[in-house]
Each structure stands twice: as structure tokens, then as C-alpha cells.
């Protein structure tokens, strides 16, 4: 049995079957924007490894941050201990995120950060003796992770977890926001969500949403004006706002955090993915003083959550190095250029009869097809074009690394256009 046969027989890959799995490609190494396969082929990366490797693979600065940290300690429990990497990272995060977020809770993955955020919201209301507020409100087309409560606020149809409907806690969903990014919020979109607030705000602990860009639930970009209005409704009806910036954080949408497009302050914010530049699984749930101190004044007065790898020093130090690299770069200008290059190349597909929509924002380019694509078939076509693009459903999209050159990005886009045209 060779390695690939062993893999097929024994290793369960994401979002596929064990009996008839989608093909996998064996990677030998990755450097910068290039992924090298065992058979020697080199692919230009269009996915940033599910949107997190923003500075490229095997980045020297990030490599050094990890190897020097490993010399002093790779891990230490966070109960009863603290350390420089955790403190340095919290200082950076407080500095760059919306100013009301003053408390930093570390965890180990995006889905866990979402669970933590939802638990915080429930405990907040419990702490002030309001036990009616136990539900969440979210927007259709959303995605917040694969753990239990995170699944309950994913779109029940497009969010991959539809088979668990009826088993998960029932949450409140408003229709997909039709007002696009750059547009004012339509009356229809506003009235849809206002109605839920009017009818159910006494039961709703928090709104949870992906600000501006809905990722794995549909790659949809919506109006900043809508987001601003949701913040106003939360204030008017006494509901917390959780911003899930796991996919959008650290510059991906053209602002450092997508909330900045609407100039709003969430009560709780989740960060993950690009926080370590794609080096390690790590996440953060940030909260305002009000949220954290209300929980801490309640009964019980502590927040009962403490993952084994909370505050892992290796992850914290590589996150510090990644944030420093980002902040020292001209990421904002570059992401605008990336957006313009993608728009220029991909716009030709708008007239293609198989294509429903083409949209680009920051370092995200999406070609929405009219029909779902066959992943195995289209993936092989991309590899043949020497690029790595992994679509889902009807969305053929790219999320390039910020360090990609114009030339490499043009090649990536040309391959995308070729594949969509031939598909």
C-alpha cells in the first residue's frame, strides 16, 4: 500500500466520505505562495490555506518567532500562570481592534472562540438575573464553525449542517441581506430584522454575524449601512452584538477588521484563522469591560472555560510576529491593488452564461456559478493549470496571500477564468 492508498483507506478528510473520498494531493513543502506536490508540480496558492496564511508559507520572520519561542517553552498551562507572549499579544490586539474591546480570552480554534462568545452572551444575561434571553439571532447564509452551538447559527440550508436541523437549538434567522456592499441598507432588509427585534428581543441574548463578508455560508458581501443599523437595533432593544471576524479579520476585506467598514463596536468579537499567519490553530474571543465585568459580578462570578492549550506560548509568539509583519507592511494599499487586479481579470466572466455573479472585495474574489460545481472534477482542472483553488457549492473563489506578486495573481486569475470557461 503506498502512502496515498493508506491515506484513502485510513484518514478521514474534511467534508468528504470514507468510502468514496474526494481525491487529495500530497504536499511535500510550501514556500511563499507556492505549494509543491510530492510529484514535483508547483501550484500557486489561491486559498491561503482556508484564508489564514496571509504572509505566505515558511515565512522567515514567523519561522524565527516560533523557533526562538520553542527554545524557552512551547507550552505551559494558563491556569495560574501567565507569560510574555500572551501579554504581548493581548497588548497588540487591544491596540488594533475596536476600542471598547478590552478583555482577551484565548482559545484554540475558531469554532471554540464562537462557542465561548455565545456562552459569554448567555452568562451575561444570567448574571443580571435575566434568564429569558437564551436565544440567538443571525443572518441566513452565515457560517460560524462546526461545533454544536456554532452549527446552530450556521445557515440551516447552505451552512453544511442541515442534517442536524431539529437536533440543534433553534435560533432565529433573518433573510439574506440583499443590500450589497457599497449600497445603502434597503427598507426591506431593515424591516426584516427590525421585525424580529420587535417581536423577540426579550428572548434574544445576542445577534451573531460575520460583519460585511459572509464566508463559508455563501461568500456574500453586504451593506455596511445594514451592519450599522443592526448595531443601532441592538442598542435600542438591549441585545448584545457578537462579530465573528474569524474569516474577515486582519485586513482580508480591505479594512483591518470588517466592523471598521461600518465604524461600529461589537460587544464581543471572535478572531482566528490569520491571527497566527496560518502557522497554528489559535483563536481569541474579545469582550468589552461591560460584558466581562457583568459576568464577573454575577453568580457564579467566574467564566467556566479553560481549554488545555489556552494561551499557548508558541501560538501567541507567532501571532505577535504575524501582527507586527502586517502592521509594518502596506497591507491596505496592497489589498486594494489585489482587489483591482482580481476585478480586472475576473470581470470577463460576468457575461458567461454559467456565471451568476462576480464580486471582489479586499483580497477576496468570488465567481458565483449558477449551478453547484463538482469539486473533484474542478479541483483537478485547477491543479492542471498549476494553481490551488478549492470551490464549494456554487462559489469558485480565491483568497490570495497578501504577499502574492502581480504576476502570480494574474496567473491565478487567468487559471480561474480558463477553468470556469472550460468547465
Closer CB to ligand PMP, 155 or 225, in the complex: 155
Torsion of CA 282, 26, 368, 385, to 10 degrees: 140
Establish if 56 lies at the interface with ligand PMP (CB under 6 A): no
Rounded CA-CA distance 367/391 in Å is 10
| 397 annotated active-site | no
Q: Calculate helix-pair angle for 187-200, 224-237, nearest 10 degrees.
A: 20
Alpha carbon of 200 to those of 4, 97, 131, 168, 285: distances in Å? 52, 30, 14, 19, 26
Distance in Å, CB of 244 to ligand PMP, minimum: 5
Report residue 57: phi and psi, to 5°: -80, 150
Beta strand pairing call for 172-174 and 135-139: parallel
Q: Which residues on neighbouring strands pair with residue 243, listed in sequence order?
A: 209, 269
Dist. CA 55–CA 368, nearest whole Å: 27
Nearer to ligand PMP, 105 or 190 (CB): 105
Subset of residues 264 to 283 that bind ligand PMP, contact rule: CB under 6 A:
272
Q: Which is nearer to ligand PMP, 144 or 231 (CB)?
A: 144
Distances (CA, A) of 87 to 269, 309, 323: 18, 16, 14
- Which one of 45, 244, 267, 279 is the catalytic residue? 244
Binding mask 208-237 for ligand PMP (x = CB under 6 A): --x----xx---------------------
Name the active-site residue from 176, 229, 273, 411: 273
Active site residue 290: no
144 in contact with ligand PMP (CB under 6 A): yes
Stretch that binds ligand PMP, among 120-128, 242-250, 291-299, 378-386 (CB under 6 A): 242-250
> Is the distance from CB of 55 to CB of 279 less than 8 angstroms?
no
111 lies in the site for ligand PMP, by CB under 6 A: yes
Which listed residue (110, 278, 362, 365) binds ligand PMP by CB under 6 A?
110
| Strands annotated E in 162-301 | 172-174, 204-209, 213-214, 220-221, 240-244, 268-271, 283-288
Binding string to ligand PMP for residues 357 to 396, with x set by CB under 6 A, is what?
----------------------------------------
- Closest CB to ligand PMP among residues 144, 161: 144
- 244 touches ligand PMP by CB under 6 A: yes
Per-residue CA distances from 315 to 32, 211, 272 (Å):
20, 25, 11
- Is 267 a catalytic site residue? no
244 among known catalytic residues: yes
DSSP state, 222?
Answer: B
**CB closer to ligand PMP, 244 vs 267:** 244
Number of residues that bind ligand PMP (CB under 6 A): 14
Phi-psi region of 413 (alpha: psi -120 to 50; beta: other; left: phi over 0): alpha
Closer of 271 and 349 to ligand PMP (Cβ): 271
Residues assigned a catalytic role = 15, 143, 244, 273
Query: Contact residues for ligand PMP (CB under 6 A)?
Result: 109-111, 114, 143-145, 210, 215-216, 244, 246-247, 272
Amino acid at each position: 500500500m503506498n502512502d496515498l492508498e493508506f491515506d484513502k483507506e485510513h484518514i478521514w478528510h474534511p467534508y468528504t466520505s470514507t468510502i468514496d473520498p474526494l481525491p487529495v494531493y500530497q504536499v511535500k513543502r510550501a514556500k511563499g505562495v507556492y505549494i509543491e506536490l510530492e510529484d514535483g508540480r508547483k501550484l500557486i496558492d489561491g486559498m491561503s490555506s482556508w484564508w489564514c496564511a496571509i504572509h505566505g508559507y515558511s515565512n522567515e520572520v514567523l519561522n524565527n518567532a516560533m523557533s526562538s519561542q520553542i527554545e524557552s517553552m512551547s507550552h505551559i498551562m494558563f491556569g495560574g500562570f501567565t507569560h510574555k507572549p500572551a501579554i504581548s499579544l493581548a497588548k497588540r490586539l487591544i491596540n488594533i481592534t475596536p476600542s471598547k474591546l478590552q478583555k482577551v480570552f484565548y482559545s484554540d480554534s475558531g469554532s471554540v472562540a464562537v462557542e465561548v462568545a455565545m456562552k459569554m452572551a448567555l452568562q451575561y444575561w444570567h448574571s443580571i438575573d435575566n434568564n429569558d434571553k437564551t436565544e440567538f439571532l443571525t443572518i441566513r447564509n452565515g457560517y460560524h464553525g462546526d461545533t454544536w452551538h456554532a452549527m446552530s447559527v450556521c445557515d440551516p440550508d447552505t451552512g453544511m449542517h442541515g442534517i442536524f436541523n431539529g437536533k440543534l437549538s433553534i435560533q432565529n434567522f433573518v433573510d439574506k441581506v440583499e443590500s450589497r456592499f457599497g449600497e445603502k441598507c434597503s427598507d426591506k432588509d431593515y424591516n426584516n430584522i427590525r421585525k424580529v427585534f420587535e417581536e423577540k428581543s426579550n428572548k434574544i441574548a445576542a445577534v451573531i454575524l460575520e460583519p460585511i463578508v459572509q464566508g463559508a455560508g455563501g461568500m456574500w458581501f453586504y451593506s455596511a449601512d445594514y451592519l450599522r443599523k443592526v448595531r443601532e437595533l441592538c442598542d435600542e432593544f438591549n441585545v448584545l452584538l457578537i462579530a465573528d471576524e474569524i474569516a474577515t479579520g486582519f485586513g482580508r476585506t480591505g479594512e483591518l477588521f470588517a466592523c471598521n467598514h461600518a465604524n461600529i463596536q461589537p460587544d464581543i468579537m471572535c478572531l482566528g484563522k490569520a491571527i497566527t499567519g496560518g502557522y497554528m490553530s489559535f483563536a481569541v474571543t474579545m469582550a468589552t469591560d461591560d460584558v466581562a465585568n457583568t459576568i464577573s459580578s454575577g453568580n457564579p462570578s467566574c467564566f467556566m472555560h479553560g481549554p488545555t492549550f489556552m494561551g499557548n506560548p508558541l501560538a501567541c509568539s507567532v501571532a505577535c510576529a504575524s501582527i507586527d509583519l502586517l502592521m509594518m507592511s502596506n497591507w491596505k494599499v496592497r489589498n486594494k491593488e489585489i482587489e483591482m487586479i482580481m476585478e480586472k481579470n475576473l470581470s470577463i466572466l460576468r457575461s458567461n452564461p454559467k456565471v451568476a455573479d462576480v464580486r471582489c472585495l479586499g483580497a477576496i474574489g468570488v465567481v458565483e456559478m449558477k449551478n453547484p460545481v463538482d469539486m473533484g472534477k474542478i479541483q483537478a482542472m485547477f491543479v492542471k493549470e498549476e494553481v490551488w483553488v478549492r470551490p464549494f457549492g456554487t462559489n469558485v473563489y480565491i483568497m490570495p496571500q497578501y504577499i502574492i506578486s502581480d504576476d502570480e495573481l494574474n496567473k491565478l486569475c487567468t487559471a480561474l477564468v480558463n477553468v470556469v470557461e472550460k468547465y
